[in-house]
């Protein structure tokens, strides 16, 4: 039976998969010059709509005190994972969201009206492939012909492809089953799947609640990047663009705070999302993402991942990842980069 704690982390999420109808085929004017920033005092009365994943942006900002003096209102909407956030951005339902390294690639492939405007990194150790402790599977090569559950378009999806490539396999050599985290948790726990590719905090929850074994981690295989993604329409709006500049600085500052105050952060994180403190500490001890510049190294690494998705038939056509990157906020964020390297 699915754990009640695990169930609670996903039951409140608002999935907006119905928004996919408007992810392509429209004029893209997102490359116009960035509007001039306005004084912060002019943001009074503005509501910035931010997509969140459970235990993500809101809890971090709140724990670090970064929501205490925001000169605009932030309205958070919760999503299970990154791809629905990208769809909501394109549909104009939200202005900004933080995702893993793969959702922007799927968005770019569908010509989503988005721009990557901030970058984050960690060692990717929270992205793992799990198997039951008693499973006869002991290497990624052993996944040939096996049922592997994963969230389509998630960072775990990217890690799975990279792990298969490293083992000289392709997605065609396994039986991929695309499921949301709660359903994937059930599938693995009940023996309906042979392996689960997943990310934190779900990795940590499974490790604390199930008898599972780590088959592979993304460390040294995947790039561990996360991205702040903005709707192009928001970036073209003078006041929203200014608020976004302020928000990405608050997120970067909050991450630096969390790194400097780990135990306080773990406790507040656990309380905010309602999970066991041990799972919260495990997740955040390895999955806190710190700010990095959107430089050529980031673009090149993401391009390799995008090319792998295209080669494997997981996305249609080819794309240039850098076409969906806008580094307009990097100058304001550079004060945080040295602290996060």
For the chain, give the mean pLDDT: 90
- Ranges in the chain annotated CATH 3.40.190.10: 40-122+224-332, 128-217
Residue 233 above 80 pLDDT?
A: yes
Residue 220 above 70 pLDDT?
A: yes
CATH for the 128-217 domain, from 3.40.190.10, 3.40.50.170, 3.40.50.12240, 3.30.499.10: 3.40.190.10
DSSP string, 296-322: HHHHHHHHHHHHHHHHTTSSSS---GG
pLDDT tens sequence across 46-91 = 999 999 997 689 999 999 999 999 999 999 999 989 999 999 999 9
- 40-122+224-332: what CATH class? alpha beta
Give 194's contacts (C-beta < 8 A, 6+ positions apart).
Answer: 131, 135, 137, 143, 146, 147, 148
pLDDT at 340: 43
Q: Cα 293 to the chain's mean position, in Å?
A: 17
Q: What's the mean pLDDT in 118-145?
A: 97
Give the DSSP H or E segment for 62.
helix 57-63
Q: How many helices (H) and strands (E) does the chain have?
A: 13, 11
Q: Cα 158 to the chain's mean position, in Å?
A: 11
Candidates 205, 195, 203, 197; CA nearest to 221 is 197
d(CA 51, CA 202): 19
d(CA 93, CA 104): 17
pLDDT tens sequence across 269-292 = 999 999 999 999 999 999 999 999
Residue recorded with tokens 């990154």:
82
d(CA 37, CA 242): 5
Residue 296 above 90 pLDDT?
A: yes
């Amino acid at each position: 039976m699915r754990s009640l704690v695990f169930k609670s982390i996903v039951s409140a999420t608002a999935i907006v998969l119905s928004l996919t109808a408007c992810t392509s085929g429209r004029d893209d004017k997102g490359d116009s010059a960035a509007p001039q920033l306005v004084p912060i005092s002019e943001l009074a009365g503005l509501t910035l709509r931010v997509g969140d994943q459970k235990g993500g942006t809101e809890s971090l900002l709140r724990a670090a005190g970064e929501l205490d003096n925001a000169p605009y209102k932030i309205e958070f909407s919760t999503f299970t994972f990154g791809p629905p956030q990208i769809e909501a951005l394109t549909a104009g339902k939200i202005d900004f969201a933080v995702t893993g390294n793969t959702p922007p690639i799927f968005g770019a492939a569908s010509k989503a009206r988005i721009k990557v405007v901030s970058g984050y990194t960690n060692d990717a150790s929270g992205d793992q492939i799990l198997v039951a402790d008693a499973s006869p599977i002991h290497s990624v090569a052993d996944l040939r012909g096996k049922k592997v559950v994963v969230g389509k378009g998630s960072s775990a999806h990217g890690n799975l492809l990279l792990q298969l490539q490293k083992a000289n396999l392709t997605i065609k050599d396994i039986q991929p089953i695309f499921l949301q985290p709660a359903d994937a948790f059930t599938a693995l726990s009940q023996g309906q799947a042979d392996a689960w590719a997943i990310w934190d905090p779900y990795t940590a929850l499974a490790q604390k609640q199930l008898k599972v074994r780590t088959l592979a981690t993304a460390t040294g295989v995947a790039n561990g990047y996360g991205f702040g993604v903005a709707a192009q329409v928001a970036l073209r709006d003078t006041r929203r663009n200014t608020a976004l500049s302020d928000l990405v600085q608050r997120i970067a500052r909050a991450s630096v705070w969390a790194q400097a105050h780990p135990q306080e952060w773990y406790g507040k994180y656990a309380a905010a999302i309602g999970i066991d403190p041990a799972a919260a500490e495990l997740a955040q001890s390895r999955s806190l993402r710190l700010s990095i510049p959107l430089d050529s190294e980031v673009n090149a690494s993401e391009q390799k991942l995008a090319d792998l998705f295209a080669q494997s038939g997981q996305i249609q056509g080819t794309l240039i990842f850098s076409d969906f990157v806008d580094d307009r906020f990097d100058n304001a964020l550079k004060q945080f980069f040295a602290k996060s390297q």
